Amino acid sequence: MTRVVSLREVEEHPSSGADSNGFLFELEGELFRAVSGHGLGVVEKLLDDGTIGSLCDRLLLVPTRRADLSIEGYPLVVWHEKLPIVSYPSEWSFGMLKKAALLLVDLEEALVPLDLSVHDAHPWNVLYRWTRPLMVDLGAIMPVADTSLWNEADRHPLWPAYNQFRTTFFNPLRMMSWGQTRIARALLRDYLGASDAETDRMSPAWQARLRLAAGDLKRQATRHLRAGARKTFPPRVLRLGQRFFQALRSEVPQAAQPLLPERRQRLRFLAAVKAHLSDLDYGPVLGGGTSYIGGQQDRTKYYEELHGGAVPDLTSTAGWTAKNHTVASLLDRCQPRIVLDIGCSTGWYSRLAARKGAGVVACDSDEGCVEELFLTCTREGSPILPLLIDFRSPTPGVGPTNRWLRPATERLRADLVLMLALVHHLVFKQSMTFQQIVETLRLTSRRWAICEFIPPTDTWVRDLFGPRFSWYTLDSFLDCLRGAFDKLECFPSFPEGRTLIFCERS
Ligand SMILES: C[S@@+](CC[C@H](N)C(=O)[O-])C[C@H]1O[C@@H](n2cnc3c(N)ncnc32)[C@H](O)[C@@H]1O
């Protein structure tokens, strides 16, 4: 029997308030969508004819089915799988943003035979389940001919939301492919994305100069021709000529962009979009990108040096250091469901935690590390979500009360937080205090944390240490940690002299 619930019983999702086709809500830990408005008929039909089931099976749409639930004023309620972690496009690596963009193009292609379209084609409508992006906004799927969302000027005739897709996916990806990742990321935090004009300005300098030069030449040639024509022809002939050229100009775009899109034309257009996207490659990071360890070769070298010659294998414990063993046994002891690895680098400990059954959010401020880890865990099929987050300033919340989009410190809260070989970076290179570092652990950890202290005598710290850091001692770090956790245990780490601190909150 259908369960009837009242609006008062449900918790409305803070990001879905303004949707005219219904709203998202949580009830008893599960996620539902109440469907209304003109979306009702569409969703009813797609549920009945098996389209929604098939889109879910093809991993284009988040698992969705009709719920045995009804809510006053909303005759239809659907259930959605609640994804473990919510992440946002400014936190994704180049490869992740590209994969999410291709997902939306694939979904749009699947909708062409049904004369439907994704009308809200921005990256906040895509969420990652580990390395797999999924479209989560069922309400965005509407008849292609629907004109309720876009006015005529913004609506693309072959994919109504294409201009939005272009500014929020395609243009940021182009910027990233030119190495302008920081600017692309800053614009990815803005729901308007990157306009064509903003993107053009980021293109490699020679292209911009060529365009400028061509523009100047064209302007000068036009000025001379106009001046010559004024001398040669009487004004009436000139006006006729102007009208003729104006008519020609207005013909061209109409012929290229027919108002009534045919399915074949839409498919051809989407194939071209896909080809453009596929051609974009991750370029070298320009202009102060946060590449801590450097290129791929250096990253591997860093791990080799740290482990005395070779990166230890995850499948056998041969060659493991004391640090490897201790972290592994603490993970076995706690059996966390979700682990947050802050400063994960290329993710050895993230992958270890995933092998031990945890879902892992692996964060680093180095673009190259996150991109590399995304490729590794996609290949391995590991339950790891790599994210580009600088924990000196983690992604803030959006909206008047930070509820519309929640801050990273809330979204990424985990049972166990790893902060290995990071504290010295935060202190010596990023001006963070022990209090701020421990506050980060307190906010992000539900129960446990494993952090590492590198002493001032360590080769990686010796040159950075000075009298103004006299407070940088293991004892004062432990004192700070005691303010946030109930129990601390210390273990020797590797190389010798470093300490692993296991923190527990009861
Ligand atoms: C020494 S490596 C440690 C890697 C790994 N945790 C381990 O123990 O093997 C430090 C990592 O922290 C990252 N990092 C430095 N500052 C960071 C910050 N503010 N937020 C996130 N990651 C940071 C660096 O990019 C680097 O990959």
CB 309 within 8 A of CB 318: no
Q: Is the CB of 388 under 6 A from ligand 1?
A: no
| pLDDT number for residue 358 | 98
List, in order, residues 6 or more apart from 320 with CB less than 8 Å away. Answer: 312, 328
Q: Output the CA 460–ligand 1 centroid distance in Å.
A: 13
Q: Output the CA 86–ligand 1 centroid distance in Å.
A: 22
Q: Is the CB of 140 under 6 A from ligand 1?
A: no
The residue nearest atom 3 of ligand 1, judged by CA position, is: 421
Q: Is the CB of 427 under 6 A from ligand 1?
A: no
* Cα(477)–Cα(469) distance, integer angstroms: 12
Q: Is the CB of 344 under 6 A from ligand 1?
A: yes
Q: Other CB atoms closer than 10 Å to residue 212's CB: what's the count?
A: 10
Tokens 């401020």 found at: 365
| pLDDT number for residue 95 | 97
Q: How far is CA 1 from CA 66, 67, 74, in A?
A: 13, 11, 17
Q: Is the CB of 420 under 6 A from ligand 1?
A: yes
The residue nearest atom 14 of ligand 1, judged by CA position, is: 343
Q: Is the CB of 425 under 6 A from ligand 1?
A: yes
Kindly give the number of the ligand 1 atom that is closest to the alpha carbon of 392: 19
CB 384 within 8 A of CB 130: yes
* Cα(157)–Cα(162) distance, integer angstroms: 9
Kindly give the number of the ligand 1 atom that is closest to the alpha carbon of 348: 9
Provide φ and ψ at 469, rounded to 5°. Answer: -105, 25
Q: Is the CB of 408 under 6 A from ligand 1?
A: no
Q: Is the CB of 359 under 6 A from ligand 1?
A: no
Q: Which residues of the chain have pLDDT under 70?
A: 17-20, 205-212, 214-218, 220-222, 224, 227-261, 285-304, 307-309
Task: Report helix, strand or coil for 221.
Answer: helix
Q: How far is CA 176 from CA 33, 71, 170, 284, 286, in A?
A: 35, 45, 10, 9, 9
Q: Output the CA 299–ligand 1 centroid distance in Å.
A: 11
For the domain covering 296-504, report its CATH number: 3.40.50.150
DSSP track, 403-472 = -SB--HHHHT-EEEEEE-S-HHHHHHTT---HHHHHHHHHHHEEEEEEEEE--TTSHHHHTT--GGGTT-
Q: Is the CB of 430 under 6 A from ligand 1?
A: yes
| pLDDT number for residue 22 | 84
Give tens-digit pLDDT for 162-200. Answer: 999 999 999 999 999 998 999 999 999 999 999 998 998
Q: Is the CB of 485 under 6 A from ligand 1?
A: no
Q: Output the CA 128–ligand 1 centroid distance in Å.
A: 23
Q: Other CB atoms closer than 10 Å to residue 435's CB: what's the count?
A: 11
> Cα torsion at 336, 353, 303, 329 (round to 10°)?
70
Kindly give the number of the ligand 1 atom that is closest to the alpha carbon of 323: 8
CB 108 within 8 A of CB 270: yes
List, in order, residues 6 or more apart from 216 with CB less than 8 Å away. Answer: none
Kindly give the number of the ligand 1 atom that is closest to the alpha carbon of 390: 20
Q: Output the CA 189–ligand 1 centroid distance in Å.
A: 23
Q: Is the CB of 504 under 6 A from ligand 1?
A: no
| pLDDT number for residue 477 | 98
Q: Is the CB of 369 under 6 A from ligand 1?
A: yes
Tokens 């902060």 found at: 419
CB 25 within 8 A of CB 32: yes
Q: Is the CB of 371 under 6 A from ligand 1?
A: no
Point out which residues pair with 22 in neighbouring strands: 35
Q: Which of 365, 370, 452, 464 to mutate to test the pocket of ligand 1 (most atoms within 8 A of CB)?
A: 365
CB 398 within 8 A of CB 405: yes
Q: Other CB atoms closer than 10 Å to residue 260's CB: what's the count?
A: 7
Q: Is the CB of 421 under 6 A from ligand 1?
A: yes
Q: Other CB atoms closer than 10 Å to residue 54's CB: what's the count?
A: 13
Tell me the two tokens of residue 409.
């410190």
| pLDDT number for residue 298 | 64
CB 329 within 8 A of CB 354: no
Q: Output the CA 430–ligand 1 centroid distance in Å.
A: 12
CB 386 within 8 A of CB 370: yes
Residue ranges of the domains in the chain?
3-80, 83-288, 296-504
Tell me the two tokens of residue 146.
């629907």
The residue nearest atom 1 of ligand 1, judged by CA position, is: 421
Side chain identity, residue 170 = F
| pLDDT number for residue 254 | 35
Q: Is the CB of 127 under 6 A from ligand 1?
A: no
Closest among 371, 439, 156 to 273, alpha carbons compared: 156
Q: Is the dihedral of CA 181, 186, 188, 194 positive or negative?
A: negative
